[in-house]
A and B are shown apart, each in its own frame.
Chain A
Amino acid sequence: MSTQIVSIQPLSQPVNLGVGPAVFSPEVEAEIDRHIAKYPVLRSAILPLMFIVQRERGYLDPPGVLYLANRLKLRVTDIWEVATFYSMIHIEPIGKYNIQICRTLSCKIRGAGAITEYCSKKLGIKVGETTADGRFTLTEVECLGSCGTAPMLQINFDYHENLTPEKIDQILDKLP
Chain B
Amino acid sequence: MRIEAIGCEPLQLRRVHLENSRSLDVYRRNGGYEAIKKVLDGMSPDDVINEVKKSALRGRGGAGFPTGMKWSFVPKDSPKPKYVVCNADESEPGTFKDRYLMERDPHMLIEGILIAAYALTSKVSYIYTRGEYKYLIDIMDVAIEEARAAGLVGKNILGTDFSCEIYTHTGAGAYICGEETALLSSLEGLRGHPRMKPPFPAVSGLYACPTVVNNVETLTAVPDIIKMGGEAYQKLGTEKSGGTKVWSVSGHINSPGVYELPMGYDDMEKFIMEDCGGILDGKKMKAVIPGGSSVYIMRADQIMGKDVRMDYEGLVAAGSSVGSGGFIVMDETVDVFESTKNLTEFYKHESCGWCTPCREGTDWLVKVFKRIESGGGRPEDAQLMLDLCDNIEGKSFCPLGDAAAWPIQSAIKRFPEDFKKRLVNHGSDGSN
Q: Hey, which chain A residues are within 8 Å of B170, CB to CB?
A: 47-48, 51
Structural contact, B250 and A150, CB atoms closer than 8 A: yes
CA separation between A43 and B248, bound complex, in Å? 35
A142: nearest chain-B partner, CB-CB: B346
B177: nearest chain-A partner, CB-CB: A86
In the assembled complex, B423 has its CB within 8 A of some CB on chain A = no
Contact A106-B251, Cβ < 8 Å, known A142-B93, A145-B132, A148-B256: yes
- State the Cβ distance, B178 to closest chain A Cβ, in Å: 11
In the assembled complex, B40 has its CB within 8 A of some CB on chain A = no
Contact A142-B350, Cβ < 8 Å, known A44-B187, A149-B1: yes
Structural contact, B131 and A88, CB atoms closer than 8 A: yes
Structural contact, B293 and A38, CB atoms closer than 8 A: no
Q: How large is the interface on A (under 10, 10 to 19, 20 to 34, 35 or more residues)?
A: 35 or more
Structural contact, A148 and B91, CB atoms closer than 8 A: no
Q: Hey, which chain B residues are within 8 Å of A85, CB to CB?
A: 174, 191-192, 352
In the assembled complex, A105 has its CB within 8 A of some CB on chain B = yes
- State the Cβ distance, B171 to closest chain A Cβ, in Å: 7
Structural contact, A46 and B256, CB atoms closer than 8 A: no
CA separation between A159 and B131, bound complex, in Å? 13
For B132, B171, B350, the residue with the greatest tally of chain A CB atoms inside 10 Å of its CB is B132
Structural contact, B256 and A87, CB atoms closer than 8 A: no
Structural contact, A47 and B346, CB atoms closer than 8 A: no
A51, A82, A108, A145: the one contacting B99 at CB < 8 Å is: A145
A48, A81, A103: the one contacting B342 at CB < 8 Å is: A103
CA separation between A141 and B346, bound complex, in Å? 9
Q: Hey, which chain A residues are within 8 Å of B309, CB to CB?
A: none
Q: Which of A31-76 contact B (CB under 8 A)?
A: 38-48, 50-51, 72
- State the Cβ distance, A90 to closest chain B Cβ, in Å: 10
In the assembled complex, B130 has its CB within 8 A of some CB on chain A = yes
In the assembled complex, A28 has its CB within 8 A of some CB on chain B = no
A43, A105, A145, A147: the one contacting B133 at CB < 8 Å is: A145
B131: nearest chain-A partner, CB-CB: A88
CA separation between A159 and B133, bound complex, in Å? 9
CA separation between A39 and B291, bound complex, in Å? 34
User: Scoring B residues 95 to 130 as 1 if CB is less than 8 Å from chain A, else 0, what string do you get?
Assistant: 110110000000000000000000000000010001
A154: nearest chain-B partner, CB-CB: B132
In the assembled complex, A171 has its CB within 8 A of some CB on chain B = no
Structural contact, B190 and A82, CB atoms closer than 8 A: yes
B250: nearest chain-A partner, CB-CB: A147
B90: nearest chain-A partner, CB-CB: A145
Structural contact, A105 and B94, CB atoms closer than 8 A: yes
A44, A89, A158: the one contacting B189 at CB < 8 Å is: A44
User: Scoring A residues 149 to 173 as 1 if CB is less than 8 Å from chain B, else 0, what string do you get?
Assistant: 1100010011100000000000000
Q: How large is the interface on B (under 10, 10 to 19, 20 to 34, 35 or more residues)?
A: 35 or more
Structural contact, A149 and B256, CB atoms closer than 8 A: yes
Structural contact, B169 and A147, CB atoms closer than 8 A: no
In the assembled complex, B48 has its CB within 8 A of some CB on chain A = no
CB-based A-B contact count at 8 angstroms = 143
Q: Which of A90-137 contact B (CB under 8 A)?
A: 103-106, 108-110
Q: Hey, which chain A residues are within 8 Å of B346, CB to CB?
A: 104-105, 142-143
In the assembled complex, B339 has its CB within 8 A of some CB on chain A = yes
Structural contact, B339 and A108, CB atoms closer than 8 A: yes
Structural contact, A106 and B94, CB atoms closer than 8 A: yes
Q: Hey, which chain A residues are within 8 Å of B92, CB to CB?
A: 143
Structural contact, B251 and A86, CB atoms closer than 8 A: no
For B252, B349, B350, the residue with the greatest tally of chain A CB atoms inside 10 Å of its CB is B349
- State the Cβ distance, A147 to closest chain B Cβ, in Å: 3
In the assembled complex, B367 has its CB within 8 A of some CB on chain A = no
Structural contact, B328 and A147, CB atoms closer than 8 A: yes
Structural contact, A147 and B93, CB atoms closer than 8 A: yes
A149: nearest chain-B partner, CB-CB: B1
- State the Cβ distance, A5 to closest chain B Cβ, in Å: 24
- State the Cβ distance, B298 to closest chain A Cβ, in Å: 14
Q: Hey, which chain A residues are within 8 Å of B134, CB to CB?
A: 157
In the assembled complex, A22 has its CB within 8 A of some CB on chain B = no
In the assembled complex, B268 has its CB within 8 A of some CB on chain A = no
In the assembled complex, B172 has its CB within 8 A of some CB on chain A = yes
In the assembled complex, B399 has its CB within 8 A of some CB on chain A = no
In the assembled complex, B167 has its CB within 8 A of some CB on chain A = yes
CA separation between A145 and B428, bound complex, in Å? 47
Q: Hey, which chain B residues are within 8 Å of A48, CB to CB?
A: 169-170
Q: Hey, which chain A residues are within 8 Å of B167, CB to CB?
A: 38-39
CA separation between A152 and B249, bound complex, in Å? 16
In the assembled complex, B175 has its CB within 8 A of some CB on chain A = yes
- State the Cβ distance, B256 to closest chain A Cβ, in Å: 4
Structural contact, A43 and B96, CB atoms closer than 8 A: no
Structural contact, B132 and A148, CB atoms closer than 8 A: no
Contact A143-B93, Cβ < 8 Å, known A104-B342, A148-B1, A148-B258: yes
Q: Hey, which chain B residues are within 8 Å of A159, CB to CB?
A: 135
For A103, A145, A146, A147, the residue with the greatest tally of chain B CB atoms inside 10 Å of its CB is A145
Structural contact, B251 and A110, CB atoms closer than 8 A: yes
**9 A-B interface contacts by CB (under 8 A):** A43-B189, A47-B131, A105-B342, A143-B95, A143-B346, A145-B130, A145-B132, A147-B94, A147-B96
Q: Assuming A41-B207, A108-B339, A148-B257, what are 20 further A-B pairs, CB within 8 angstroms?
A: A43-B189, A48-B169, A72-B189, A88-B131, A89-B173, A104-B93, A104-B293, A104-B343, A105-B93, A105-B251, A105-B339, A141-B173, A142-B175, A143-B94, A145-B98, A147-B96, A149-B256, A154-B132, A157-B132, A158-B135
